[in-house]
Structure 1
Amino acid sequence: MPRLAVPLTESQIRALEPRAARYCVADGNGLVIEVMTTGTKVWRFRYTLNGKRQPLATIGDYRMISLRVARAKAQKYVEMVAQGISPVATARRDRGAESNADVLREAAELYLATAMAGKSDEYRRTTRRALDKDVLPAIGGKPINAVTPDDIVAICERIKNRGSPKMALHTRNVVKRLYVYLIARQLANSNPAEVVPARSIATFDSRTRVLSGEEIGTMLHAIDASSIRRPLKLALHLLVLTMVRKSDLVESAWAEFDLDHAVWTIPAARLNADRDRVVYLSHQAVSMLRELHRAKASRNYVFPSVRGDDRSIAKSTLNQAVKALGLEVEHFVLHDFRRTAWTHLREVAQRDVALDSASALEAQNPHQEDDVAQQRRIVQAWADFVDGQIEAGRQAVISSV
């Protein structure tokens, strides 16, 4: 019985290096990728017809055809062979129908059809809108490598003149991601959007960035629905609920928590402060921490490194997790969660007469029993507010399907 091929991944294909003689690597189902001595990679289809091994049928250049699309074409050819039909003529027509992606408009269509396939409907919609409305009408007819930073600046200036600086920056970012894709597929030599500074397009004071309730709900729902590791999902959610600094959370140790009393005491030594900081925990936060504790991979740290040694994850891990999601939230950094929480707490306190809006803005380190009760009400009101935003975001996704 012939040995089954282990399916390839995009990263494995990109890592294939040319040799003195060209060679093929199988993906399975008749699909192989041939690596030429020049480094060019070409999809081929291997098949047997009427009991005889046939010459490889060419599917197309890897730079213009993703692994997902190549597999779909191979499956089509498998079905033809099963009916006794040679796929050669069909493969030739398929190649003729493919764009050569030499022009930006064609490259953008390739990008949308392949790189965007696994993204959310909203992400694809906003990306296509930026390309169709402003980018392609201006430079869609230019060769990929003829697009310059001046072209990008001109497009962004036109958008800014419409009174939309945020959209201008978003459009620049879309072009930047498009060229990252084209460079990875060896269709572009450089990224004209990368050298255009974000500050030259839209100046935004990150110290005043506050997420709207809708943005909070959309972001946390997207995080929950993503494929990132469960502990990182919980860490990002806890960052919102606890209103602490990122480093305080990722370096936290189990010894600091009293989950039975819903209290987290951050030692003064870890804070470089004169005294410990007491953080009161909502019901939602306690539930998440108990889940982490049941599955804990470290005796000491709440968020241990996956490397196996007993230390916490790196401070940059959460940033990388959020960046990998490709969320369309302009000018957002994780530190904005704290500012967002305190801003919304003012509004929550104003709607709830039992809450003191002044206390809602104080650090969680009270000295009187009344202060403790008040702080507990505050953190629970905030957690309930966040839950409401997540549910609203979930319903918005459902209604758009």
Structure 2
Amino acid sequence: MPKIIAPLTDLLIRNAKPRERPYKMFDGDGMYLVVAPTGSRIWRFKFRQANGKENTLTFGPYPEITLQDAREKRLATRRLLLQGIDPAKHRDDAKRLAKDKASNTFEKIAREWHGNKVPTWSERTAKNTIQRLQADIFPAIGRMPIDEIKHRDLIAALRKIEERGASEVAHRLRAVCASIFSYAIQCGFTERNLVTDMKDVLKTVRAGHFAAISADELPQFLAILDRNEARMFAPTRIALRLMLLCFVRTSELIETPWSEIDLERGEWIIPWQRMKRGKLTVNPDMTNHHVCLSRQALELLRELHAITGRSQYLFPNQRDHEKPISNNTILVALGRMGYKGKMTGHGFRALAMSTIKERLGYRHEVVDRQLAHAPKDKVASAYDRAQFLAERRRMMQDWADYIDAVSGKGAPPQTPRLTLVSGEFSRDGGTGGHHV
């Protein structure tokens, strides 16, 4: 008959005295307590593996692991054995999983996600995204295992951004964090995207247009620019005038190298790689953009060339001439003129679009193409390139003449007269009929 083992009691364990050599106190079903000469007591469990070899698990020290705790561990271990699971391997797998979980911090996974996204982003987007994470998210939750982050942890980080008045940044980072959690789920690092449950925790940001002055405010703007009470340098004033005359995007102007400008032929062609739609990773628009320089714009470029013509860029950085000026230069200059919150670099584009259509009578499609917006379809794109360039050149000269007129420097341009030809309206002096 098998030997009957009397179960242990807390009293027996407390009264157990250390001996010269370690000895065991059995509780049955493979579990026993080892009493060391030092007086320490350790719970252990002996079992037989599937291959027949004996193995031992350590449950932990007494009294930190009570008798009841040890018996619960023994029961859980025996259940694993009944399921054919090796408890030692199960323990090692659990330790490895816990270690991996601890190492899979939000920052680590966010950087992996960012690294995967970089090839599909512009350099500026990649740089801005990681900088925002480093400034506002990593200090708050970067070191936390992503699977242990709670709603309140992320909400606190986002509301801190919101409290400093950067609501738009908070909303953008919320979207970034949603993408990071989605990536973590796909990689098996977590099972839930916290951000999908956080639709209403941030204040609603009203969508708005970039600040822009109206056509009626243009004369006063030009007068302030001419007086230069803001004491701006000549290149900065020229930059503002070129933004007004050419209405390219701010980055497209300030990052322009002199190699793109042909002063003799009076041409400025921006390579498609520098254009917004040319930087798309999927189906980029590989059409070079003709800025269509007016006589006035060309004069400004010649004046600028005398100042910065030896530099690589039209507008070199004062500290490092190998780099262009900052994107904020235009915005700061407008602020010094008294137009902070009233006008932006993008506002020149809105001003040109509305005024050229309303005051000069040009069609939306022509202005839209000069703004380098995407044609709606391939047929429109082909017609666009084939027919609009001559009309755009004329339009840009009319626009420059209009600006001179409202500033008192020239006669008002004649508004194009529309005549009916074969059922279509045609602009006098135009190259062909078109609908209006």
Normalised-by-shorter TM-score class: 0.3 to 0.5
Larger radius of gyration: 2
Normalised by the size of structure 2, how large is the TM-score? 0.39
Normalised by the size of structure 1, how large is the TM-score? 0.43
Structure of higher RCO (CA pairs closer than 8 Å, 6+ residues apart): 1
